[in-house]
Homo-oligomer: A and B are copies of this chain.
C-alpha cells in the first residue's frame, strides 16, 4: 500500500479538489427528520445515520473526510461505537478518513492512542490522525512509528485557526516562534520519510485564518502536507488558503464542516432536502477553492 500522503495526493488529483468535509455532528443542528430525542443512544443513532448519509453524498466528490472525534465522544461509548460504523462506511466508499482527535501522551501511552486510531485491530482505524505537540518531540515518536508501519498519516497541530492560538504558538523563543519550532520538527520528520509525492509521514495543521503565517510555513516546510481548518464558517476565504498549495496544487487539504454538513439551514438551499443541500454546498466549496488551488 502506498503511504498515506501518496494516497491523498492521488485522491486530490482524481477528485480535482483539495476539499475535505468535516463530520462534526452537533445534535441541535441536525436535520429535524433525524432528531429522535435526547437520550445518548438516540443521539448516537442519529449521528450514525447523519454521518453515513453525509458520506453517501460527499464520498464521490472529495478526497477525504475528517470526523471530529469530540462530538462522538460527547455521547460516551455509544457515540464511539457509532463512529466505528461511520469509519467502516467511509472505507467501503473508498474515501480517506482523517480522525480529528488531537491526541497526545508519552511512551507506551502514546502507543496506545496510535494503536487505537491507526492500528490494524482498531474499529476506528482511520488513514490519518491529528495529534498535539505540547508534550515534546519524544511524544511524537510512537505516533510516527505506528504511522510508518501502517502507511498512515499524522497531522501535528502547528498553527491553529482560533484567536487564542497565538497565546503560545506566536511566542518567540530565541530566533523562532513556537509554531515555527514545531513546524521545523514536523518538517524534519517528513523530509526523512517523504514518499513519491514529495510529502512525508507527518503533516501539519495550519489555520486558514492566518494567511501570512500559512504562506511562511508553506515555504519553510516543503515536505509537509497541510491540513487547513478555518475555511468557511470560521471566516477563512479561498484567497486566504491560496498560499497553502505547492505549484501543482498539492500539499494541502482544506476542511469545511458546518457550511457543508448543515447546508439545509442555509437560505440559499431552501427547498432542497438535506442531502441535496449538502451536495450543492460541497459543489459550491469545490468551485470556490478551485479559484485558489492550481490543480492541473
Which A positions have Cβ atoms within 8 angstroms of B? 24, 26, 40, 68, 70-71, 73-81, 83-84, 102-110, 112-113, 115-116, 119, 121-124, 132-139, 157, 160-169, 171-174, 178, 181-182, 185
Contacts and interface: CB of A to CB of B under 8 A. Distances in A.
Given A76-B122, A113-B73, A160-B135, A173 B167 contact: no
A112 B40 CA distance: 13
A147 B83 CA distance: 26
Contacts of A182: 168
A134 B133 contact: yes
A103 B106 contact: no
B162 A115 contact: no
Q: Which 6 A-B pairs have the closest CB atoms?
A: A138-B164, A136-B164, A70-B112, A136-B167, A171-B173, A76-B123
Contact of A133 (B121, B139, B168): B168
**A75, A107, A167: most-surrounded residue (chain B CB, <10 A):** A167
Given A116-B76, A134-B132, A121 B167 contact: no
Given A81-B77, A123-B40, A169 B136 contact: yes
A257 B114 CA distance: 21
Nearest to A257: B109
Given A133-B168, A181-B171, A77 B77 contact: yes
Given A134-B157, A168-B178, A76 B70 contact: no
Contacts of A172: 173
A55 to B, nearest CB: 19
Given A102-B132, A104-B132, A138-B162, 19 more contacts: A68-B105, A68-B112, A70-B113, A73-B112, A73-B113, A74-B116, A77-B80, A77-B84, A77-B123, A79-B116, A81-B81, A102-B104, A102-B135, A133-B134, A134-B157, A136-B160, A136-B167, A138-B164, A167-B185
Contacts of A139: 162, 164
B165 A121 contact: no
A187 to B, nearest CB: 15
27 contacts: A24-B109, A40-B121, A73-B112, A74-B112, A74-B113, A76-B116, A77-B77, A77-B83, A77-B84, A77-B124, A78-B123, A79-B116, A81-B81, A102-B132, A104-B132, A106-B160, A133-B134, A133-B168, A134-B157, A135-B164, A136-B162, A136-B164, A137-B167, A138-B162, A139-B162, A172-B173, A173-B173
